[in-house]
Amino acid sequence: MDSERDRELERRRQQVRAGGGEARQAKQRQQGKWTARQRLAALFDPDSFQELGMFVEHRSAEFGMADTEAPGDGVVTGFGQVDGRLVYAFAQDFTVLGGSLGEMHARKIHAIQDLALKSGAPIVAIADSGGARIQEGIDSLNGYGEIFRRNTMASGVIPQLSVVVGPSAGGAVYSPALTDFVLMAEGIGQMYITGPQVIKAVTGEDVTHEALGGAETHARKSGVAHLTFPDEPALFAGVKHLLSYLPSNNLASPPAAPAADPDPAAAAQLGNVVPDDPNKPYDVRQVILGLVDQGTFLEVQPGYAQNMVVGFGRLAGRVVAWCANQPRILAGCLDIDASDKLARFVRFADAFNLPLVTLVDTPGYLPGTAQEYGGIIRHGAKVLYAYSEASVAKISVVLRKAYGGAYLAMCSKSLGADLALALPTAEIAVMGPEGAANIIFRSEIERADDQDAMRKRLVAEYRNRFSSPYVAAARQFVDQVVTAEELRPVLISALWALGEKGEDRPAKKHGNIPL
């Protein structure tokens, strides 16, 4: 390191690493934000990050840009190791022209997207940007379009994660939206199509940046964010945790871990979680916690459409994609948002070789004009499509209620479940006993002197006859009835048995999922 050329290289490196300078970095810190390089350091294993395109410069001369220095053109790109595995990443640097996306900034991102796809490794996009670089006009827009196209080409081939830790406005939100997971930090990341000023001018509504597009909003109301965190250190730990469940690409297996027992308290309670009373609510996450290896359940979109629970969790070390109705919320009904949440998760799991275990306890679709006018037909169909299309190992377990169309939708044998299990508490029927008895025994009930007593008797008769797992088991729509305590070992051996499962689909350009 003592020749003049070496010293010049080091000077240039230092200049780029300084980004937009101390004052702008201090402003970033005051807002509770890390710089682009701190973020990459938090993501990658120590000393493993290799930066590419460090000396890229913009070539814009308009609006005073000829004299404007933009180190690295406002984005840091490269690859490195996360827990020893290859990962590509880019981090926009808000201290350089507000992390705005100009022609060369975009080209750096395209290059890293191309490398990630060619090498079959996940890509993490760290967004902190004022959007299209206004001085560069149409070149910026083209830069976005090329990112969107690459996001789409990589979809289903490599996992794509978006970390939103700053503004992400206008069309810029669509790259995160095209990726598999959006992770946000509270009070730091904001995503919206039109900002508060435009909204005020057009609709007269008053809304803050955070209320409009902050982490809480996207975690609970819009469903855009899959995971949210209180701050950046927690967020980057969360990114690494999520990556630990995902294979590097669609041809690879998810990373295995040593087998572990489930949480002892949850496992001991497993037999008591699902109540006999079909109308009593419970938290289906207690069932999942009693089944998975201790400490491995990562719920995805926990705040959105809470009547559906989806997430990753290990069984004897193997990653499983869990899907479950949540009887604690809306009695576990399927509605528009729950259908979208479930269908997207099932498709992700299928694309990336994650076996699906579906826990069923749903009385049906949520009734009402809001649901019908909102297109529950269209949205509900996504679930049928996603499960039918999925060729990974599919195991369903009916815990309690499984009625009608919702029974079919929740990974029934008819949709291609490889194995359908049921607890003794399962009630599998065309509809709930009350509704069924009221229809098929209407004249008997009307003729009775004591209609209420007659209705109760006939409902009980229907329940005894049809609302059990045994009618379905008699036709092998259920392969095995097991107790809650037997479930974990049965699931582990079933996943082992289905480990080499293969299932072909007819050749086609692509299907037409009802969107």
Closest to ligand HXC by CB, 54 or 134: 134
Q: How far is the CB of 55 from ligand HXC (least distance, A)?
A: 21
Q: Within 10 Å of residue 393's Cβ, how many Cβ atoms?
A: 23
Helix (H) or strand (E) holding 192: strand 190-192
In one-letter notation, the amino acid at residue 175 is: S
Half-sphere exposure of 11 (CA within 13 A, CB side): 7
Q: How far is the CB of 208 from ligand HXC (least distance, A)?
A: 12
C-alpha distances in Å from residue 321, one per residue of 191, 314, 357, 369, 459? 28, 9, 6, 32, 36
Q: Measuring CA to CA, which residue among 358, 378, 364 is closest to residue 311?
A: 358
Do residues 305 and 270 make contact, with C-beta atoms less than 8 angstroms apart? no
Q: How far is the CB of 214 from ligand HXC (least distance, A)?
A: 13
Residues that bind ligand HXC (CB under 6 A): 24, 97-98, 100, 130-134, 141, 144, 167, 169-172
Q: How far is the CB of 105 from ligand HXC (least distance, A)?
A: 10
Do residues 236 and 39 make contact, with C-beta atoms less than 8 angstroms apart? yes
With H, G, I as helix, E, B as strand and everything else as coil, classify residue 277: coil
Do residues 358 and 326 make contact, with C-beta atoms less than 8 angstroms apart? no
Q: How far is the CB of 52 from ligand HXC (least distance, A)?
A: 23
Q: How far is the CB of 97 from ligand HXC (least distance, A)?
A: 5
Closest to ligand HXC by CB, 148 or 466: 148
Closest to ligand HXC by CB, 141 or 492: 141
Q: Measuring CA to CA, which residue among 404, 407, 469, 455 is closest to residue 431?
A: 404
Closest to ligand HXC by CB, 24 or 394: 24
Q: How far is the CB of 179 from ligand HXC (least distance, A)?
A: 15
Q: DSSP readout, 51-91? A: EESTT------GGGGGG---GGGGEEEEEEEETTEEEEEEE
DSSP designation for 262: P
Q: How far is the CB of 152 from ligand HXC (least distance, A)?
A: 14
Do residues 491 and 395 make contact, with C-beta atoms less than 8 angstroms apart? yes
Do residues 403 and 431 make contact, with C-beta atoms less than 8 angstroms apart? yes
Q: How far is the CB of 238 from ligand HXC (least distance, A)?
A: 24
Q: DSSP readout, 12-48? A: HHHHHHTTT-HHHHHHHHHTT---HHHHHHHHSPTT-
Closest to ligand HXC by CB, 141 or 471: 141
Sequence-distant (6+) residues with CB within 8 A of 13 are: 54
As a whole number of angstroms, the distance between CA 509 and CA 493 comes to 36
Q: How far is the CB of 35 from ligand HXC (least distance, A)?
A: 14
CB-based burial label for 190 (10 Å; 0-12, 13-18, 19+): buried
Closest to ligand HXC by CB, 170 or 435: 170
Closest to ligand HXC by CB, 171 or 435: 171
Closest to ligand HXC by CB, 95 or 412: 95
Do residues 408 and 414 make contact, with C-beta atoms less than 8 angstroms apart? yes
Label residues 249-263 b or e (16+ Cβ within 10 Å = b): beeeebbeeeeeebb
Closest to ligand HXC by CB, 141 or 260: 141
Tokens of 72: 């690295």
Closest to ligand HXC by CB, 143 or 380: 143
Residues recognised as catalytic: 170-171, 405-406
The number of angstroms, rounded, from the C-alpha of 308 to the middle of its chain's C-alpha atoms is: 12
